[in-house]
Amino acid sequence: VTGKVTDEKGNPLANVSVLVRGTTTGTTTKEDGSYTLTVPANAKALVFSSVDMSPVEMAIGTASVINATLKGEDKTMSEVVVVGYGTQKKSDLTGAVSSVKGKDIARIPTANVEQALQGKVSGVYVAPSSGTPGAGAVIRIRGTGTLNNANPLYVIDGMITYDASNVNPEDVESIEVLKDASAAAIYGSRGANGVILITTKGGKTRDKASITASGYYGVQQVTKQIDLLNAAEFASAYNDLRGQQFFPNPDSLGEGTNWQDEIFRMAPISNVSLSANGGSEQYQFNFSANYFSQDGIIENSHYDRLTFRINGEYKLNSYMTIGHNLSNSSTREDVAPGVVNTAYRMPPVYAPRDSTGDFSDPTFFGLAIANPAADLYYKSDKHITGSRLFGNLYGEIKFLKNFKFRTNFGIDKINWQTEYFEPKFEVSASQLNLNDRLSVSNGTDGKPNRNDWIWEQTLTYDHTWNEHHITALGGYTAEERNGIWLGGSREN
């Protein structure tokens, strides 16, 4: 069978899928819209399909030439997006709401969904909060709107939170960003900085469960180092500065030590995911397991996270449904000291260690200069471990045709443990620690252990008649947030 595929105006369409109905036998059209396909003797029809076009099915019969015309499919007006406590057609929205599909962020190699939003939504500024492995992002929706804390509010599967770092990007079905006052008004004053709604993947009705495995491995490095003086150039410049020959023969010193090479490294990043998705008319489920690992480009820095998620929905009868969206994540972070600034200031005439094997003392050039190699050796014994149980349980009842009652109970339980040990050492008069010291805390820098819960009841009336549609929602929310930080330290 041969033929040509065109659009409504007669223009040829390339890369259109041409499949024998009910089989995997098929081909795609060329640049001029033409195709050639050998079909089985018992084939009944061909299916023509392309992105953003309505599919067309053509009977084969005895024809050897089959042409097809595809029409554009405008899904924008009928697209449904998540808004506060419900959904709406995109064509009905009066507030500023941007939508991002999960497939658009799953391919980005990053630890969390916050950084994956970078460059995806207009009017939203996203930048990494630091270069630390596993770090989140600074997000500003339409600029900085409030003093002190300008971070947006997150709502993950109906659970309100201020931290989305536990969400694996591959678990995301869609993200909606509520950017203006009318869209975020239902969340009150805490939605003043904008609201980010994250919906994770649910199950789908299938004949057989779909099992998916994916992974990636990559490396990170500094793309461009700061151009600094080498040892010979530094010695010559220092002689000129002091008007004396502190270094009789600067050229003999050569390149010396590039201190950026001493602290930076080629750092691997990897991710492995396994998921199962399926269900029937009575229940749907989605299970996923994910392991993420990232070394920092600074020596001795590392982050890894293991996440399990189980989402399920169960239809008890025609009017009652219950479900859950639960995740549990465990993290470990190895924290390196801040050595980037000292690496820029360390004179290149020094090696990391002197001729006796001790760390070089650079204080000849000033007490404020420290040996970054010594800091990496003595101050890298800081470890943060954490676990987070996050999710919700819900029930929904439909009654009197147009009414729906929903109850939702959410929990966010976070536990952090931080340990830091610094041994006794002395590199110079300004770079030293006189006593061994150990500090331990339940909680970490700026993050107390938390035990939060929220319980919501909402009643929705939804009615359509002729060309008119009305939705009314009333609700009641109770929540409690508890945070505690406890630490202790000991010397000698």
Band (366; pLDDT cuts 50, 70, 90): confident
pTM, to two decimals: 0.78
Mean pLDDT of the chain: 89
- Does pLDDT of 146 surpass 80? no
- Does pLDDT of 233 surpass 90? yes
pLDDT computed for residue 74 by the predictor: 56
> What confidence tens digit (pLDDT) does each residue in 431-442 have?
999 999 999 999
> What confidence tens digit (pLDDT) does each residue in 61-102 have?
888 999 999 987 655 545 677 777 877 776 666 667 888 888
> What confidence tens digit (pLDDT) does each residue in 397-447 have?
999 989 999 999 999 999 999 999 999 999 999 999 999 999 999 988 778
Q: 182 or 395, which is more confident?
A: 395
**Are 376 and 339 contacting, i.e. CB atoms less than 8 angstroms apart?**
yes
pLDDT computed for residue 346 by the predictor: 95
pLDDT computed for residue 122 by the predictor: 83
**Amino acid in the structure at residue 434:** L
| Nearest CA among 142, 143, 3, 115 for reference residue 64 | 3
Strands 153-156 and 195-200: parallel
Give the list of residues 6+ apart from residue 301 with CB closer than 8 angstroms, or none.
132, 133, 295, 334, 335, 336
**Are 191 and 243 contacting, i.e. CB atoms less than 8 angstroms apart?**
no
Distance between the two ends of the chain, CA-based, in angstroms?
A: 86
Q: Is 90 exposed, middle or buried (0-12, 13-18, 19+ CB in 10 A)?
A: middle
Other CB atoms within a 10 A radius of the CB of residue 204 amount to 13
pLDDT computed for residue 128 by the predictor: 82
pLDDT computed for residue 21 by the predictor: 86
DSSP-derived secondary structure letter, 378: H
Strand ranges in 238-381 using DSSP code E only, listed in sequence order: 267-279, 283-295, 302-315, 320-335
- Does pLDDT of 192 surpass 90? no
Return the SS3 of 182. helix
**Percent of the chain whose predicted confidence (pLDDT) is above 70:** 97
CA distance 315 to 297: 49
pLDDT computed for residue 55 by the predictor: 87
> What confidence tens digit (pLDDT) does each residue in 310-323 have?
999 999 998 999 99
DSSP-derived secondary structure letter, 351: -
CA distance 189 to 160: 14
pLDDT computed for residue 408 by the predictor: 94
In sign, the C-alpha dihedral spanning 94, 97, 101, 104 is positive
Q: 125 or 378, which is more confident?
A: 378
CA distance 279 to 315: 11
pLDDT computed for residue 94 by the predictor: 61
| Nearest CA among 442, 456, 450 for reference residue 482 | 450
In sign, the C-alpha dihedral spanning 353, 359, 361, 362 is positive
**Mean pLDDT in residue range 8-28:** 86
Least confident of 59-68, 176-185, 361-370, 465-474: 176-185
Task: Report the b/e string of 451-489 with b at 16+ CB within 10 A.
Answer: ebbbebebebeeeeeeeeeeeeeeeeeeeeeeeeeeeee
Give the list of residues 6+ apart from residue 38 with CB closer than 8 angstroms, or none.
1
> What confidence tens digit (pLDDT) does each residue in 342-361 have?
999 999 999 999 999 999 99
pLDDT computed for residue 447 by the predictor: 82
Tokens of 295: 């070394």
